[in-house]
């Protein structure tokens, strides 16, 4: 079996094992672990867009909110009818949750398609601005839809998110992105990142690649949103604003754009750091922003982007 597939199976087994022993783990540690997992999904999926494909999106939290809202709505309004009054068996609840997550992810992917098709014709700064704008528009829409609780958001979401689901979907996100980028088709993402005009002149449809990256990224952001909603049990539109997007972007930049390992590491560090630095929590964002500025001057390739091996020199002629 190829390496990524093996890793996926191993991760799923670990997830099953951990969920078996989750009663013996300190609930606080379990919560932190779930937070880390959700952030890994977000960072890895954004890395496909911002890192590998080189399209700077600032609206990831918007897609996350779409997933969070639709998954929560299904768990709140649709699933109870199917599960019946007793709440169904464990398997039924699991199926309902998986269904809700996937539906949330699909809705986010559709939102990604709707946003991506018009905005991905733009480049650099403009794209960043438009994705930011769409993120804000999504937030304003959720604020105004009564069915989704308006500005108060949705409350009383069932606590379905367990460590098993987080690790399983985290592994799936990493697996999908890795395999996609390393496939023959996926080389197009890197080509689009490296030189758009050159890739177009050799016949790559760069717009299509950008949209695919965007939709896949949005799908996993939606999944992460669903997990987040069923973990926090309450979601409000303001929880998915600009700062949330920036937080994910910082993870990607810190880890090194287009470097999945680094990004996973960065997501872990940046989730654990605030937990460890609680006493100086008010300085967290200042540290983040200084980190961004200094990083761009000193080490623009990202803090955790280590060369895996020395590049093979071509034999001397």
Query: Contact residues for other proteins (CB under 8 A)?
Result: 54, 56, 118-119, 121-122, 124-126, 128-130, 132-134, 136-137, 140-141, 143-144, 197, 242, 246, 249, 253, 282-283, 285-286, 288-293, 296-297, 300
Phi-psi region of 120 (alpha: psi -120 to 50; beta: other; left: phi over 0): alpha
Residue 189 CB, nearest approach to other proteins (Å) = 16
Among residues 16 and 290, whose Cβ is nearest to other proteins?
290
Residue 144 CB, nearest approach to other proteins (Å) = 5
Among residues 37 and 135, whose Cβ is nearest to other proteins?
135
Among residues 24 and 201, whose Cβ is nearest to other proteins?
201
Residue 190 structure tokens:
């890197």
Compute CA distances 269 → 110, 127, 276, 290, whole Å: 31, 28, 10, 16
Residue 284 CB, nearest approach to other proteins (Å) = 8
What DSSP line would sit under 64-77, residue for residue? HHHHHHHHHHIIII
Among residues 25 and 287, whose Cβ is nearest to other proteins?
287
Among residues 128 and 223, whose Cβ is nearest to other proteins?
128
Cα torsion 295, 299, 302, 305 to 10°: value is -150
Q: What are phi and psi of 235, to 5 degrees?
A: -130, 140
Residue 199 CB, nearest approach to other proteins (Å) = 13
Residue 178 CB, nearest approach to other proteins (Å) = 23
Residue 243 CB, nearest approach to other proteins (Å) = 8
CB neighbour list of residue 289: distance below 8 Å, 6 or more residues apart: none
Residue 53 structure tokens:
């494909």
Among residues 79 and 250, whose Cβ is nearest to other proteins?
250
Nearest to 176 by CA among 1, 63, 7: 7
Phi-psi region of 310 (alpha: psi -120 to 50; beta: other; left: phi over 0): beta
First to last CA, the chain: 38
Residue 137 CB, nearest approach to other proteins (Å) = 5
Query: Is the Cβ–Cβ distance between 173 and 264 less than 8 Å?
Result: no
Query: Is the Cβ–Cβ distance between 268 and 63 less than 8 Å?
Result: no
Among residues 69 and 164, whose Cβ is nearest to other proteins?
69
Q: How far is CA 25 from the centre of its chain?
A: 26
């Amino acid at each position: 079996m190829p390496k990524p597939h093996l890793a996926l199976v191993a991760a799923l087994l670990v997830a099953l094992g951990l969920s078996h022993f989750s009663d013996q783990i300190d609930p606080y540690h379990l919560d932190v672990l779930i937070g880390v997992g959700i952030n890994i999904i977000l960072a890895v999926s954004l890395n496909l867009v911002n890192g590998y494909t080189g399209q700077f999106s600032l609206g990831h939290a918007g897609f996350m909110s779409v997933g969070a809202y639709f998954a929560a709505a299904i768990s709140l309004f649709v699933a109870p009818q199917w599960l019946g009054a007793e709440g169904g068996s464990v398997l039924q609840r699991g199926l309902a949750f998986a269904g809700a997550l996937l539906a949330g992810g699909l809705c986010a992917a559709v939102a990604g398609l709707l946003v991506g098709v018009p905005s991905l014709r733009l480049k650099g700064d403009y794209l960043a601005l438009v994705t930011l704008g769409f993120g804000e528009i999504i937030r304003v829409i959720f604020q105004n839809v009564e069915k989704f609780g308006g500005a108060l958001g949705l409350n009383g979401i069932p606590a379905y998110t367990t460590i098993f689901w987080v690790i399983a979907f985290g592994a799936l996100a990493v697996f999908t992105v890795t395999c996609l980028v390393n496939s023959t088709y996926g080389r197009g993402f890197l080509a689009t990142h490296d030189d758009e005009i050159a890739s177009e002149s050799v016949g790559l449809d760069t717009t299509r690649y950008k949209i695919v990256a965007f939709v896949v990224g949005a799908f996993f952001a939606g999944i992460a949103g669903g997990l987040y909603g069923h973990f926090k049990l309450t979601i409000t539109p303001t929880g998915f604003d600009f700062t949330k997007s920036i937080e994910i972007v910082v993870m990607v930049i810190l880890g090194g754009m287009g470097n999945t390992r680094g990004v996973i590491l960065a997501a872990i560090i940046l989730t654990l750091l605030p937990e460890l630095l609680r006493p100086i929590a008010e300085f967290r964002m200042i540290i983040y922003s200084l980190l961004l500025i200094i990083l761009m001057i000193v080490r623009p390739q990202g803090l955790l982007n280590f060369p895996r091996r020395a590049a093979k020199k071509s034999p001397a002629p």
